[in-house]
Amino acid sequence: MLDWINIISAWAVPVMIAFIPVYAFMKKVPVYESFVDGAKDGFSTAIGIIPHLVGMMVAISVFRASGALEFFVGWMGPLLEKLHVPAEILPLGILRPLTGTGSLAFTTDLIKTYGPDSMIGRIASTVQGSTDTTLYVLTVYFGAVGIRNGRYALKVGLFSDVVGFVAAIVVCLLIFG
């Protein structure tokens, strides 16, 4: 059974990549022209979201460089210690909704420092899989389609990130603690 799964996994993407243009050609769709039109639309979308991405990256850089992140972690440290939650995880919970690359780099540093089988490494890995880059997603996708009022999406997204962060900690402490 495992051999079949490996074979299907290895061939699924190449078969789909070959199947789609062949199917479109059979249906008399101008394949190359459709591809070029899509590429043009993608390029204009990329140009349109650049200002949103630059603004978000500047805000993240200012937040980290100002020392606000370290101040918040220091302020919350005693409470987290009482709850048996490693304070080293808190910056990940703050960074994850902002930036995928930054949070992944932070997770990598935590795993290098404490090890993948440490409680901190396990919680960090679980947080990475339980939360999303909400502000990045809203910036890119809402900016791409021109949505200006995303307050409900922002509230729901950030709430789900908090729930995912807390759930990741609780589950890891229950299973591994």
- Could you tell me which residues come within 8 angstroms of residue 142 by beta carbon, excluding any fewer than 6 positions away? 148, 150, 153
Res 23: pLDDT: 92
- Residue 166, pLDDT above cutoff 90: yes
Class of residue 3 by CB neighbours under 10 A (exposed 0-12, middle 13-18, buried 19+): exposed
| Dihedral sign for Cα atoms in the order 80, 86, 90, 91 | positive
Res 117: pLDDT: 93
Q: What is the pLDDT of residues 13-67, one digit of tens each?
A: 999 999 998 998 899 999 888 888 888 888 887 787 788 778 777 877 787 789 8
- The string of DSSP codes covering 84-134 is T--GGGHHHHHHTTT-HHHHHHHHHHHHHHH-TTSHHHHHHHHHHHH---H
Q: What is the pLDDT of residues 72-106, one digit of tens each?
A: 888 988 998 898 889 999 999 988 998 888 888 88
- Could you tell me which residues come within 8 angstroms of residue 128 by beta carbon, excluding any fewer than 6 positions away? 92, 96, 103, 104, 107
CA angle 91, 95, 97 (to 5 degrees): 135
Res 156: pLDDT: 93
Average pLDDT, the chain: 87
Provide the whole-model pTM: 0.67
- Residue 115, pLDDT above cutoff 90: yes
| pLDDT confidence tier of residue 2, bands split at 50, 70 and 90 | low
Q: Are 137 and 143 in contact (CB under 8 A)?
A: no
Closest CA relative to residue 69, chosen from 34, 27, 99: 99
| Dihedral sign for Cα atoms in the order 135, 144, 104, 17 | positive
| pLDDT confidence tier of residue 139, bands split at 50, 70 and 90 | confident
What is the chain's alpha carbon radius of gyration, rounded to the nearest angstrom?
Answer: 21
- Residue 148, pLDDT above cutoff 90: no
Residue 65, amino acid: A
